[in-house]
């Protein structure tokens, strides 16, 4: 019995120790009529559970391509990508969609909430995608409270609340399916500095509680909230 | 269910254009259903006036042939001889063969009345009950009595007991009306509504006849109609074609088939408006997809499968189709009522299954067209690359 318990603890520990994301020699080439464009030229890195990483680089450096590959929105030309130990490069569109739904939480610069749905429905949308049925709105309310959104706003539509509040809703939506990793694309790019700082404080708090975060930004002040920075230039990691 | 909800809300926020697309479906359903109802009502109207004639085989002298019957008479004087009638009677047994004489003559009703011309049928008194039903009076047994059709009686104010002088100045004699025949409509055998029916004896004497104009064989078992027809043809037309034999049920079937084709054709014209409505649905669905490319990108990026995106747009097309078709179905009833009232002067054929089925056809076509026209935009939406869709402004 003791042995069994030990074994179980070892398995759990090994899962927790497994990197959330691994990139191995990832190359992404876009074939264009005027000639192939190499957006990423052999990128390798690893993201461990609980990390808060920012990816920085100038415009055209390959940040967006990297983000798309990390978010399973695209597949590499060559190389390997693992999300929580699962190889994703050979997955079908359906399988990649399931990975995005179950393991990745997206937070966009422009919030990208659904204007036809109210706040609660926006937050519970990924849950409904996963369960294929109606979900308990109480879970959505709890997620919204965890990002410090006032209860009185829950039945409003996205256009009726401020940008900062919309981004909090987007964060709650990203967290609702307990993803392995949060992917942030310029999360404060559309907010004033004070609201942006509030959002970043929230992200730091989530990270302290164990959420793994990768943030793509060009703003060094925002990058300061992360604990590690990956610099990218001309499709290569330079640091 | 969330995709159903999104589809509903998208229709609501674009109520004007959704309503216009639905209006197209409404018009399409109304066009198909109203045309169908009108066509079917016409068929029912005609079939009502052709009733009671679907159980007979009618034998008439062959009009197209040369010579033939009655010892080489010309086509204008063709008739069926007693001998031929006996042959027909024998091969038709046990079904009843009724010989019919017919003519038209002047007649005068009452003293000082105007001369009118009407058809006169000559029948054996024993055969009359097998062929005609009376609504008033009784069958005439003697040669001085006659029966009149109901329209004849109404138009000329003839009652049981009235007297009718036949021939110019009544030179053929005067007959007393013993009964009024129930309305039969236009028939293949005898059309008695505006005619008088006399005994064969009186007819023979008045018009110097000893042969017949046609023979009606009343077939008891309708399945035997083609058998009786073939038997008569085989017997009578062995060497030369001397009689024409018509199976009235077959003729009616052919007639109704032709009416059915006309109805289908007219409904198909209505169907064109439905196709136009379908193009309108396709158009607004394409607009909907174009407007919501970014939304589709967000959905796909956070885990919506292609088929789920597709379902959202198909739901939208389905809602437009179902709502448009239901409204169209209701308006078709109204339209059918108005058209029937105006064109056929009766709505009794509207609420019968064979008419109402056209509303079902119209509604089904509306829903199917909407769905078909929604497939391509929905497919386009599902095939969007999430990265490109997310970048879309």
Element (H, E) at B217: strand B214-218
**pLDDT above 90 for B168:** no
How high is the pLDDT of residue A93? 93
Domain coordinates of chain B in residue numbers? 2-50+253-391, 102-210
| Local structure of residue B239 (DSSP, 8 states) | S
Structural domain harbouring A192: 2-237
CA B93 to CA B376: how far, in whole Å?
66
How high is the pLDDT of residue B64? 65
Q: How far is CA A97 from CA A78, B7, B168, B303, in A?
A: 20, 22, 98, 5
**pLDDT above 60 for B76:** no
Find, in chain A, the residue whose alpha carbon is nearest to that of B386. A73
pLDDT tens digits for B118-164?
888 888 888 888 778 888 888 777 778 888 888 888 888 888 888 88
Nearest to B301 among A98, A106, A121 (CB): A106
Neighbours of B141 (CB within 10 A): 12
- Partners of B234 in the beta sheet? none
CA A50 to CA A68: how far, in whole Å?
21
pLDDT tens digits for B77-118?
577 888 888 888 888 788 888 888 888 888 888 766 678 888
CB contact under 8 A, B301 and A126: no
Q: A88, A133 in Cβ contact below 8 A?
A: no
How high is the pLDDT of residue B124? 84
Give pTM, 2 decimals: 0.72
How high is the ipTM of this complex? Answer: 0.89
How high is the pLDDT of residue B67? 43
How high is the pLDDT of residue B141? 74
CB contact under 8 A, A97 and B9: no
Residues (pLDDT < 50) of chain A are 1-5, 7-14
- pLDDT above 90 covers what percent of chain B? 27
Chain A hits for B18, Cβ within 8 Å? none
Chain B hits for A116, Cβ within 8 Å? 6, 9-10, 13
Chain A hits for B10, Cβ within 8 Å? 116
How high is the pLDDT of residue B53? 63
Nearest to B303 among A101, A114, A133 (CB): A101
pLDDT tens digits for A5-17?
454 444 444 455 6
Neighbours of B300 (CB within 10 A): 26
pLDDT tens digits for B227-263?
878 887 787 787 777 878 877 777 777 877 888 888 8
How high is the pLDDT of residue B111? 65
Three-class secondary structure of residue B22 per DSSP: helix
Query: A172-181, B140-149, B283-292, B362-371 — which is least confidently predicted?
Result: B140-149
**pLDDT, mean of residues B301-315:** 95
| Local structure of residue A110 (DSSP, 8 states) | T
CA B144 to CA B163: how far, in whole Å?
10
**Which residue is listed with tokens 């003697």?**
B142
pLDDT tens digits for B179-235?
888 887 767 777 888 888 888 888 888 888 878 888 888 877 777 777 878 887 787
How high is the pLDDT of residue A43? 94
Q: B160, B180 in Cβ contact below 8 A?
A: yes
Q: What is the CATH number of the domain that holds A145?
A: 3.40.50.300
How high is the pLDDT of residue A18? 84
Q: How many domains does chain A have?
A: 1
How high is the pLDDT of residue B71? 41
* Average pLDDT score over chain B: 83
| Local structure of residue B81 (DSSP, 8 states) | -
CB contact under 8 A, B295 and A114: yes
How high is the pLDDT of residue B377? 95
Chain B hits for A134, Cβ within 8 Å? 1
How high is the pLDDT of residue B69? 45
**pLDDT, mean of residues B344-372:** 89
CA B242 to CA B65: how far, in whole Å?
7
Q: B203, B103 in Cβ contact below 8 A?
A: yes
Please list, residue by residue across A97-133, b when 16 or more beta carbons sit within 10 angstroms of its beta carbon and e when fewer do. bbbbbbbbbbbbbbbbbbebbbbbbbbbbbbbbeeee
Look at strands B163-166 and B173-181 and give their pairing: antiparallel
CB contact under 8 A, B301 and A71: yes
CA B343 to CA A152: how far, in whole Å?
62
**Sheet-wide strand order for A236-237:** A104-107, A181-185, A213-216, A52-56, A228-233, A236-237
């Amino acid at each position: 019995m003791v042995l069994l318990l030990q074994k179980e603890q070892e398995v759990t520990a090994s899962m927790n120790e497994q990197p959330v994301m691994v990139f191995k020699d990832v190359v992404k080439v876009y074939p264009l009529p005027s000639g192939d464009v190499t957006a990423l030229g052999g990128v390798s890195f690893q993201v461990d559970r609980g990390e808060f990483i920012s990816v920085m680089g100038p415009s055209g450096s390959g940040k967006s391509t990297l983000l798309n590959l990390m978010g399973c929105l695209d597949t590499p030309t060559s190389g390997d990508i693992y999300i929580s130990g699962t190889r994703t490069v050979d997955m079908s569109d359906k399988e990649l969609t399931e990975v995005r739904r179950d393991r990745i939480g997206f937070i966009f610069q422009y919030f990208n909430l659904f204007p036809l749905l109210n706040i609660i429905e926006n937050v519970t949308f990924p849950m409904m995608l996963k369960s294929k049925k109606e979900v308990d709105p109480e879970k959505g309310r709890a997620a919204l409270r965890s990002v410090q959104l006032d209860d009185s706003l829950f039945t409003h539509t996205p256009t009726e609340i401020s940008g900062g509040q919309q981004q909090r809703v987007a964060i709650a939506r990203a967290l609702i399916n307990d993803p392995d990793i949060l992917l942030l694309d310029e999360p404060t790019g559309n907010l004033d500095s004070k609201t942006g700082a509030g959002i970043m404080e929230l992200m730091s708090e989530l990270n302290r509680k164990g959420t793994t975060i990768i943030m793509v930004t060009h703003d060094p002040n925002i990058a300061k909230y992360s604990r590690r920075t990956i610099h990218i230039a001309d499709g290569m990691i330079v640091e | 269910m969330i995709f159903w909800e999104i589809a509903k809300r998208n229709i609501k926020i674009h109520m004007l254009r959704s309503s216009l697309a639905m209006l197209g479906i409404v018009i399409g359903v109304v066009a198909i259903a109203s045309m169908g109802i009108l066509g079917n009502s016409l068929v029912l109207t005609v079939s009502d006036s052709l009733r009671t004639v679907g159980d007979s085989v009618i034998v008439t002298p062959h009009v197209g042939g040369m010579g033939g019957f009655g010892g080489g008479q010309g086509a204008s004087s063709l008739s069926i001889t007693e001998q031929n009638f006996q042959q027909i009677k024998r091969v038709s047994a046990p079904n009843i063969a009724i010989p019919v004489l017919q003519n038209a003559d002047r007649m005068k009703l009452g003293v000082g009345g105007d001369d009118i011309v009407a058809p006169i049928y000559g029948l054996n008194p024993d055969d009359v009950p097998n062929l005609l039903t009376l609504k008033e009076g009784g069958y005439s047994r003697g040669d001085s009595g006659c029966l009149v059709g109901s329209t004849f009686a109404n138009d000329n104010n003839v009652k049981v007991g009235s007297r009718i002088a036949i021939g110019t100045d009544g030179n053929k004699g005067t007959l007393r009306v013993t009964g009024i025949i129930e309305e039969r409509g236009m028939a293949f055998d005898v059309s008695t509504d505006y005619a008088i029916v006399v005994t064969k004896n009186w007819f023979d004497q008045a018009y110097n006849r000893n042969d017949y104009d046609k023979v009606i064989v009343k077939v008891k078992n309708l399945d035997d109609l083609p058998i009786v027809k073939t038997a008569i043809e085989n017997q009578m037309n062995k060497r030369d074609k001397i009689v024409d034999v018509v199976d009235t049920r077959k003729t009616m079937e052919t007639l109704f088939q032709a009416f059915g084709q006309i109805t289908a054709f007219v409904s198909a014209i209505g169907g064109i408006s439905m196709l136009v409505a379908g193009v309108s649905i396709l158009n607004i669905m394409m607009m909907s997809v174009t407007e919501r490319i970014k939304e589709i990108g967000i959905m796909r990026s956070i885990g919506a499968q292609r088929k789920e995106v597709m379902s959202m747009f198909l739901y939208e097309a389905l809602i437009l189709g179902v709502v448009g078709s239901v409204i169209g179905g209701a308006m078709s009833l109204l339209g059918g009522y108005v058209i029937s009232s105006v064109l056929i002067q009766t709505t009794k054929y509207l609420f019968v299954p064979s008419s109402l089925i056209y509303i079902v056809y119209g509604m089904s076509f509306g829903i199917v067209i909407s769905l078909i026209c929604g497939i391509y935009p929905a497919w386009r939406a599902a095939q969007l690359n999430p990265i490109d869709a997310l970048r879309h402004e």
